[in-house]
């Protein structure tokens, strides 16, 4: 095994470089190596200087080890040994210094940071608390209020803020971390700066900060914030007792489903980048065109502008172009208000980086054009025919279609290799998912370019196959029907939405439909009507709503009535549902909230299994990512396929068998689910497939 530490002895200084690429995560071998280096000091060592090799100091515990039982040495023991070392220990922090990495730093006797360092305790995002003294040492250094802010927010801070808070002792000028670490240790030996132990400090209880934090934590459903507050409160007392409490709380949280789900969400976000085209060089994209400036086009344009990519947006006429400008301005105003951009940049983006036009000819020099016109094949084909004529050779022609066939759109352009689906989600400047959909003839480097662009926009790209609805909308079209079946069979929209919101979705399916606009689904259903299997159970409630002109929020009425301050059901809905019940419908019945969730999720999992089996998604992880980042699936549940693994595939398969006796056409057993259930397999087993 390669050495995980680069150890040198220079003038009585033990220089310890942490060298565990890609992010210096604190794996068991690294913890063991660190402990050995600290414990086996020769007599001539007078100081220890730690630094990180590569892009950062230490990015934290090794998340891939969290699924198994912990192996010694535990990180708190390593931290204790560092703090108890017979000689001063200093650390130079650069790049990612997160979680356990910051806890290692807090255990040293003197910390300095290089420009660009990111210091933070992000454990809360994984449903955990710092478990190696962070909740005890940090408040002693910076006070309870600031510690609570950093631990509960999980946000990393830069060197300036860290120095101001007292988290570090120095901000250094830019230098190689090794050189800086050596210099810092020399200063300690020459007694220019005095090192100190965080555990020897005391911190007064800040009851106001604790009370405010408790009030905020009570509003959420996750256990980790409560545990973090309890641990930080204990830092006012004995250090070792606080450490023991922190460790117990950390271990309790490690065993929760919420932590497993959040950890899975972290991992799938990275796993989905492993695609067959990962090694190809992305094409450079400096100038972007967007055709269509409605809900999606304007949102996509704003997302590109915020990533510093200039955009030329084409609309049908100048009035529509001005509406698009106003939508983009609203998004940028929001970014300005939240401090994400400065006033100067806001002005520059709106007056320089954004161009509006009504003639596609101005896109001749664009590197990438994203079409976001109406979801209508004839209109899209006309646009792509123009783009095929106008755009420069090598330009990428992307469509944001939700459902339509990428190959037919590509044919209209006459540039089969140049066309790809880049499917953004609404609101496009917020939702993180982008489905990257190659057609049959798409040049493979376009897929790599789609992924690179998504990264630049801070989004999560998922590679999907070209089928009706790709991954996400194909699944949604299937599982969404369950909500309609439940409604027509006896549950109310309020009960269904509330049950799924309690499961963790930000909004239930009827509230989402109202928000998206019921007319969108109506158009799709009309398009699909000729090919709908006659045996499919069809619920026409949404069609009736649309026929009344009720398109949801935008018309003030949909499943819900939005005329008052609170959402309440459309007063005419019950009568409308009753009128839609077919003579052959099963008798009305009650559904428990659990049954509602079970059916909804079982349908999601079934379609997910089919999407994996036919290759539309590369792995179950890609489905989890699509649902987590595009469809509001609750992060602590990890995604539908992870959820299915947790519940047990045999139980899910049994549920499908039972439901299939009720409605055999809808509840068909996916062969992949059946096979895995029979063999004791898990969807996670299929995530090992990492092409490249």
Q: Which residues bind ligand COA (CB under 6 A)?
A: 22-23, 25, 59-64, 96, 98-99, 122-123, 126, 270
Q: Is 96 left (phi over 0), alpha (psi -120 to 50) or beta?
A: beta
DSSP code of residue 352: I
Binding interface with ligand NAD (CB under 6 A): 291-297, 314-316, 320, 372-375, 379, 383, 400-402, 424-426, 516
Report the partner that residue 296 touches, choosing among ligand COA, ligand NAD, none (CB closer than 5 to 8 A by kind): ligand NAD
Q: Which is nearer to ligand NAD, 354 or 486 (CB)?
A: 354
Terminal CA-CA length for the chain:
24
Q: Which is nearer to ligand NAD, 261 or 292 (CB)?
A: 292
Report the partner that residue 426 touches, choosing among ligand COA, ligand NAD, none (CB closer than 5 to 8 A by kind): ligand NAD
Residue 103 annotated among the catalytic residues of the structure: yes
Task: List CB contacts of 310: < 8 A, sequence separation 6 or more.
Answer: 286, 287, 288, 304, 352, 353, 354, 355
Residue whose structure tokens are 């008052």: 564
| Tally of CB atoms within 10 A around 244 | 14
Q: Which is nearer to ligand NAD, 316 or 502 (CB)?
A: 316
Q: Which is nearer to ligand COA, 156 or 299 (CB)?
A: 156
Residue with the shortest CB distance to ligand NAD:
294
Report the partner that residue 295 touches, choosing among ligand COA, ligand NAD, none (CB closer than 5 to 8 A by kind): ligand NAD
Closest contact distance (angstroms) between CB of 70 and ligand COA is 12
Closest contact distance (angstroms) between CB of 23 and ligand COA is 4
Report the partner that residue 64 touches, choosing among ligand COA, ligand NAD, none (CB closer than 5 to 8 A by kind): ligand COA
Report the partner that residue 379 touches, choosing among ligand COA, ligand NAD, none (CB closer than 5 to 8 A by kind): ligand NAD
Closest contact distance (angstroms) between CB of 454 and ligand COA is 12
Q: Which is nearer to ligand COA, 25 or 471 (CB)?
A: 25
* Per-residue CA distances from 219 to 213, 214, 216, 612 (Å): 10, 9, 5, 37
Closest contact distance (angstroms) between CB of 27 and ligand COA is 8
Closest contact distance (angstroms) between CB of 372 and ligand NAD is 4
Closest contact distance (angstroms) between CB of 274 and ligand COA is 7
Instruction: Give the 3-state secondary structure of residue 150.
Output: helix
Report the partner that residue 316 touches, choosing among ligand COA, ligand NAD, none (CB closer than 5 to 8 A by kind): ligand NAD
d(CA 92, CA 32): 21
Consecutive H or E run containing 423: strand 419-424
Q: Which is nearer to ligand COA, 132 or 570 (CB)?
A: 132
Cβ(358)–Cβ(289) below 8 Å: no
User: Pick from 8, 60, 9: which is nearest to 30 by CA?
Assistant: 60
User: Pick from 320, 427, 426, 424: which is nearest to 368 by CA?
Assistant: 424
Report the partner that residue 374 touches, choosing among ligand NAD, ligand COA, none (CB closer than 5 to 8 A by kind): ligand NAD
Cβ(214)–Cβ(199) below 8 Å: no
Sign of torsion over alpha carbons 482, 487, 491, 493: positive
Q: Which is nearer to ligand NAD, 14 or 437 (CB)?
A: 437
| Tally of CB atoms within 10 A around 548 | 14
d(CA 615, CA 465): 7
Catalytic site residue from 83, 103, 246, 435: 103
Closest contact distance (angstroms) between CB of 271 and ligand COA is 7
Consecutive H or E run containing 217: helix 207-219
The two beta strands, 460-463 and 560-561, are unpaired
Closest contact distance (angstroms) between CB of 334 and ligand NAD is 18
Residue 123 annotated among the catalytic residues of the structure: yes
Report the partner that residue 59 touches, choosing among ligand COA, ligand NAD, none (CB closer than 5 to 8 A by kind): ligand COA
Consecutive H or E run containing 98: strand 96-98
Q: Side-chain half-sphere of 407: how many Cα atoms within 13 Å?
A: 7
Closest contact distance (angstroms) between CB of 270 and ligand COA is 4
Catalytic site residue from 83, 123, 246, 636: 123
Q: Which is nearer to ligand COA, 96 or 539 (CB)?
A: 96
DSSP code of residue 284: P
d(CA 370, CA 437): 13
φ/ψ of 157, rounded to 5, equals: -125, 160
Task: List CB contacts of 456: < 8 A, sequence separation 6 or more.
Answer: 307, 309
Q: State CA 635 to chain mean position distance.
A: 8
Cβ(14)–Cβ(45) below 8 Å: yes
Report the partner that residue 409 touches, choosing among ligand COA, ligand NAD, none (CB closer than 5 to 8 A by kind): none
d(CA 105, CA 49): 11
Q: Which is nearer to ligand COA, 270 or 568 (CB)?
A: 270
List, by residue number, the catalytic residues: 103, 123
């Amino acid at each position: 095994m390669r050495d995980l530490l680069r150890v040198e002895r220079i003038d009585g200084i033990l220089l310890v470089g942490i060298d565990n690429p890609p992010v210096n995560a604190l794996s068991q071998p690294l913890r063991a190596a660190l402990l050995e280096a600290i414990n086996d000091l020769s007599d001539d060592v007078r100081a220890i200087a730690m630094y990180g090799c590569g892009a950062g100091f230490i990015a934290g515990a090794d998340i891939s080890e969290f699924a198994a039982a912990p192996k010694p040495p535990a990180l708190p023991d390593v931290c204790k040994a560092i703090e108890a070392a017979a000689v001063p220990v200093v650390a130079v922090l650069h790049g990612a210094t997160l979680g356990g990495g910051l806890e290692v730093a807090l255990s040293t006797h003197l910390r300095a940071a290089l420009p660009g360092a990111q210091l933070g305790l992000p454990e809360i995002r994984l449903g955990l608390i710092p478990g190696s003294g962070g909740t005890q040492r940090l408040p002693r250094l910076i006070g309870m209020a600031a510690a609570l802010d950093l631990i509960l927010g999980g946000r990393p801070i830069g060197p300036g803020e860290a120095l101001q808070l007292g988290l570090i002792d120095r901000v250094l000028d830019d230098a190689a971390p090794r050189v800086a670490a050596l210099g810092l240790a020399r200063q300690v030996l020459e007694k220019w700066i005095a090192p100190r132990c965080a555990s020897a400090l005391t911190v007064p209880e800040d009851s106001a900060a604790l009370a405010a934090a408790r009030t905020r934590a009570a509003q959420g459903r996750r256990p980790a914030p409560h545990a973090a507050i309890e641990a930080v409160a204990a830092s006012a007392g004995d250090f070792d007792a606080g450490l023991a409490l922190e460790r117990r709380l950390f271990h309790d949280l490690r065993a929760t489903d919420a932590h497993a789900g959040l950890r899975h969400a972290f991992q799938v976000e990275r796993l989905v980048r492993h695609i067959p085209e990962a090694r190809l060089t992305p094409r450079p994209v400096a100038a972007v065109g967007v055709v269509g400036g409605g809900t999606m086009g304007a949102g996509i344009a704003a997302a590109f502008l915020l990533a510093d990519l200039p955009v030329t947006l084409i609309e049908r006429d100048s009035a529509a172009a001005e509406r698009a400008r106003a939508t983009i301005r609203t998004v940028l105003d929001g970014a300005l208000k939240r401090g994400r951009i400065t006033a100067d940049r806001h002005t520059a983006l709106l007056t320089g980086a954004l161009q509006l036009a009504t003639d596609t000819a101005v896109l001749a020099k664009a590197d990438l054009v994203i079409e976001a016109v109406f979801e209508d094949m004839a209109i899209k084909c006309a646009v792509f025919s123009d783009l095929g004529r106008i755009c420069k050779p090598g330009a990428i022609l992307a469509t944001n279609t939700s459902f339509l066939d990428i190959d037919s759109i590509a044919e209209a352009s006459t540039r089969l290799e140049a066309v790809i689906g880049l499917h953004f989600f609404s609101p496009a400047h917020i939702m993180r998912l982008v489905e990257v959909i190659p057609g049959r003839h798409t040049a493979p480097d376009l897929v790599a370019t789609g992924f690179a662009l998504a990264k630049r926009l801070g989004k999560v790209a998922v590679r999907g196959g070209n089928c009706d609805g790709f991954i996400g909308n194909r699944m949604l079209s299937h599982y969404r029907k369950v909500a309609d079946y439940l409604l027509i069979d006896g549950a109310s929209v309020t009960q269904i939405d509330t049950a799924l919101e309690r499961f963790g979705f930000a909004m239930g399916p009827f509230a989402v439909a109202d928000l998206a606009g019921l007319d969108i689904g109506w158009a799709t259903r009309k398009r699909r009507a000729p090919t709908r299997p006659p045996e499919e159970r069809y619920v026409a409630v949404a069609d009736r709503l649309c026929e009344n002109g009720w398109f949801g929020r935008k018309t003030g009425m949909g499943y819900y009535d939005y005329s008052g301050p609170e959402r309440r059901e459309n007063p005419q809905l019950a009568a409308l549902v009753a009128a839609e019940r077919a003579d052959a419908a099963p008798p009305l019945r009650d559904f428990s909230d659990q049954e509602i969730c079970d059916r909804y999720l079982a349908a999601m999992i079934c379609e997910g299994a089919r999407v994996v089996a036919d290759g539309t998604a590369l792995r179950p992880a890609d489905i989890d990512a699509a649902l987590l980042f595009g469809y509001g699936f609750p992060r602590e549940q990890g995604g539908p396929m992870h959820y299915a693994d947790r519940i047990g595939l045999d139980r899910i398969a049994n549920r499908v068998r039972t439901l299939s006796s009720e409605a055999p056409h809808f509840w068909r057993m996916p062969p992949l689910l059946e096979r895995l259930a029979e063999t004791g397999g898990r969807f996670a087993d299929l995530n090992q497939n990492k092409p490249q």
